[in-house]
Amino acid sequence: MRLSWETFDLRTTHAFSIARLKAPPARRAVWVRITDADGVEGWGEAAPNVYYGETAETVEAVLARYAAAVSDAADGDPFALERIERAVELA
């Protein structure tokens, strides 16, 4: 299995606003893709939250740390969830 990602600008139609925060109408986000040995892909999005000190760069750093662990633990089996989860916890 291979874990890959791409950072992009996520633009919203309206700025997100709540009592304590008004976010700009554009922010950095990360597309995450996992591909198995047969070429089957799963996609997700990591949307960093400034409130928790997250950025697109911190997301990329964590994904880079986990990429090898996921690949090694899966050993070609995308359903080896317990093994993969354990490897990520130890990474």
pLDDT along the chain (91 residues), means of 10: 91 82 83 90 90 92 88 78 85 80
pLDDT score at 25:
77
* The total number of structural domains that make up the chain: 1
Domain, as residue range, for 42: 2-90
Considering all CA atoms of the chain, what is the largest pairwise distance in Å, rounded to the nearest integer?
A: 48
Assess contact for 66 and 91: CB atoms under 8 A.
Answer: yes
Identify the CATH number of the domain in which residue 10 sits. Answer: 3.30.390.10
Q: Given this model, what pLDDT does residue 36 score?
A: 86
For residue 70, CA distances in Å to 3, 26, 83, 84 come to: 7, 31, 9, 6
State the pLDDT at residue 24: 76
pLDDT at 12: 83
pLDDT of res. 61? 93
